[in-house]
């Protein structure tokens, strides 16, 4: 599946930019403040669309806000948002996301995700103890699925298959095949 930039812009406009109910009384320190390479919450994966949005929003080059990794499962180079040296997202400020309007798709989906499981891409939801999701939160997350897939486009395989070794310790439930 390949989406051109116009389709991605349209998909981005269809994303619900609201926060989850669960996040309102949660400082973000449990997820955004805890991310680290190899940690239970890995840094956000960046699609090419995310990179372009952050470049435009912050006036920075990709090497200034992201790190490259090789995905051994596809052979492709992939980028992840840079973290603070001691862990935690660089863009978390007093419990608020400083790039909320153009935060990566990976952030918008959490605690939902796509995982490559037994050769198939599946929507999963992490049983992350700090996320007390309401019915409305589940509906909001599910509404993000189609636009998120449009933005991921042909980067879906990298998104689903890139190893996130720390996150394998996070329990999850399967929602559906992608």
Contacts with ligand SF4, residue ranges (CB under 6 A): 20, 22-23, 26, 28, 30-32, 35, 44, 81, 89, 91-92, 97, 99, 103-104, 107, 110-111, 128, 130-131
Of residues 11 and 109, the one with the C-beta less far from ligand SF4: 109
Which residue's CB is nearer to ligand SF4, number 7 or number 55? Answer: 55
List Cβ<8 Å contacts ≥24 apart for 63-72.
65/90, 67/43, 69/162, 71/158, 71/161, 71/162, 71/163, 72/163
Smallest gap from residue 148 Cβ to ligand SF4 (A): 14
Q: What's the Cα-to-Cα distance from 164 to each of 62, 73, 74, 92, 158, rounded to whole Å?
A: 21, 12, 14, 21, 11
State how far Cα 144 lies from the chain centre: 12
- Taking the complex as a whole, the smallest distance from the CB of residue 116 to ligand SF4 amounts, in Å, to 22
Helix (H, G, I), strand (E, B) or coil at 39: coil
Helix, strand, or coil (residue 137): helix
Nearer to ligand SF4, 3 or 105 (CB): 105
- 63 vs 93, beta carbon nearer ligand SF4: 93
Shortest reach from residue 134's CB to ligand SF4, in Å: 10
CB distance 99 to 58 below 8 Å: yes
91 or 116: CB nearest ligand SF4? 91
Least Å distance between CB 75 and ligand SF4?
27
Rounded distance between C-alpha atoms, residue 153 and residue 4, angstroms = 8
């Amino acid at each position: 599946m390949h989406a051109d930039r116009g389709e991605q812009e349209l998909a981005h406009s269809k994303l619900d930019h609201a926060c989850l109910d669960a996040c309102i009384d949660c400082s973000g320190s449990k997820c955004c403040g805890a991310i680290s390479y190899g940690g239970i919450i890995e840094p956000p994966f960046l699609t090419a669309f995310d990179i372009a949005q952050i470049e435009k929003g912050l006036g920075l080059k990709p090497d200034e806000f992201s790190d490259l990794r090789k995905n051994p499962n596809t052979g492709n180079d992939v980028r992840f948002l840079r973290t603070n040296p001691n862990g935690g997202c660089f863009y978390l400020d007093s419990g608020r996301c400083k790039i909320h309007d153009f935060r990566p798709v990976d952030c918008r989906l959490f605690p939902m995700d796509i995982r490559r499981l037994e050769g198939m891409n599946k929507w999963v939801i992490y049983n992350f103890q700090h996320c007390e999701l309401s019915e409305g939160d589940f509906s909001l997350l599910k509404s993000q699925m189609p636009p998120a897939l449009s933005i991921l486009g042909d980067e879906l395989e990298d998104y689903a298959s890139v190893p996130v070794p720390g996150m394998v310790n996070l329990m999850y439930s399967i929602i559906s095949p992608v």
